[in-house]
Amino acid sequence: MTWTKVIAIAGLPTLLVGLAHINSLPFVYTLKSWWLLRSLVERAKKSNLDPEDLFTIVSQDQRCLWDDIDYNQHMNNSTYNKKLDFSRIHLLYIIVPKIMMEPDHHVFAHNAGVFTLFKREIPPLQPYTIQTRVWTWNEKWLFLQHRFIIESGDGPITVCCIATSKIVFKKTSGKTVSPKEIFELCGHVLDSQTETKRSQNWNKAKHLLSMHHDDWDSKL
């Protein structure tokens, strides 16, 4: 048997395993982040940093690959949070592009926590979509809502997971900047209709802040 045949026989399974576990290969996460940022920066420049509608829904199509699953043969819980990194980047770059791209503001968006509720499993190789939007905000926190859904043609969608990200904007000095200030700086008009929607959603989201996080760190 020639070396060419040996390489071909050994190489094909290796290639298939690599493709099935592509998300875990070195630098793939970094390259995917870079590619997404590159496309978002180009998009923002073409629009002269004009933001999309504040409540725009961003959708990202994904597929549950073999390195996304656990021994229960469905998508691993940690994978949900990993995928949400891309969703947060995507949304923030289109609704507050000036903050994300103009360094003179010295303001950065920080993820302060994610609340996750699992409703249905996502099986191996299943295509799914992550929907992300601004949910609500107060004087400190911006809440983003995420939904992992499976679409079935003309039938109803299946909601597999609902998650909420808690974002805070801070200057390099450590001072917190309110979401309202950020939105206005980026050109959003916070009219009565926007306030009504924010207020209605805040009545639901505020319960997340009422949870006493310090109690979770009690001694076992």
Q: Please, which residues have CB within 8 angstroms of residue 21's CB and are 6 or more apart in sequence?
A: 65, 66, 67
Beta strands 142-150; 127-137: pairing state: antiparallel
Is residue 144 within 8 A of residue 88, CB to CB? The reply is: yes
Q: DSSP letter for 69, please.
A: B
Residue 98 has which token pair? 């000036």
Q: Which pLDDT belongs to residue 179? A: 97
DSSP-derived secondary structure letter, 123: -
Cβ distance 146 to 162 under 8 Å? Answer: yes
Tell me the C-alpha distance between 114 and 84, whole Å.
9
Q: How confident is the model at residue 18 (pLDDT cuts 50, 70, 90)?
A: low
Per-residue pLDDT reduced to its tens digit, 114-155 = 999 999 999 999 999 999 999 999 999 999 999 999 998 788
> What's the pLDDT at 3?
61
CA 118 to chain centre: 16
CA dist., res. 9 & res. 13, Å (int): 7
- 3-class state of residue 71 by DSSP: coil
Residue 214 is encoded by which pair of tokens?
């310090």
Residue closest to 55 by CA, chosen among 198, 181, 215: 198
How high is the pLDDT of residue 184?
A: 96
Helices (H), ranges, 96-220? 97-101, 179-185, 192-209
Domain chopping of the chain, boundaries? 3-208
> pLDDT digits over 50-86, tens only?
999 999 999 999 999 988 888 888 999 999 999 999 9
CATH node for 3-208: 3.10.129.10
Looking at residue 195, its pLDDT comes to 95
Residue 13 clears pLDDT 70, i.e. is over it: no
Beta bridge partners of 59: 131
pLDDT tens for residues 78-109? Answer: 999 999 999 999 999 999 999 999 989 999 99
Quick: pLDDT tens for 143-189.
999 999 999 878 889 999 999 999 999 999 999 999 999 999 999 99
Query: What confidence tens digit (pLDDT) does each residue in 202-211 have?
Result: 988 888 777 6
Q: Please check the confidence at residue 220 and state whether its pLDDT lies above 60.
A: no
Residue 216 has pLDDT above 60, yes or no: no
CA distances to 100, 117, 149, 171, 211 from 183, rounded to whole Å, are: 12, 28, 28, 15, 27
Q: What is the CA radius of gyration of the chain?
A: 21
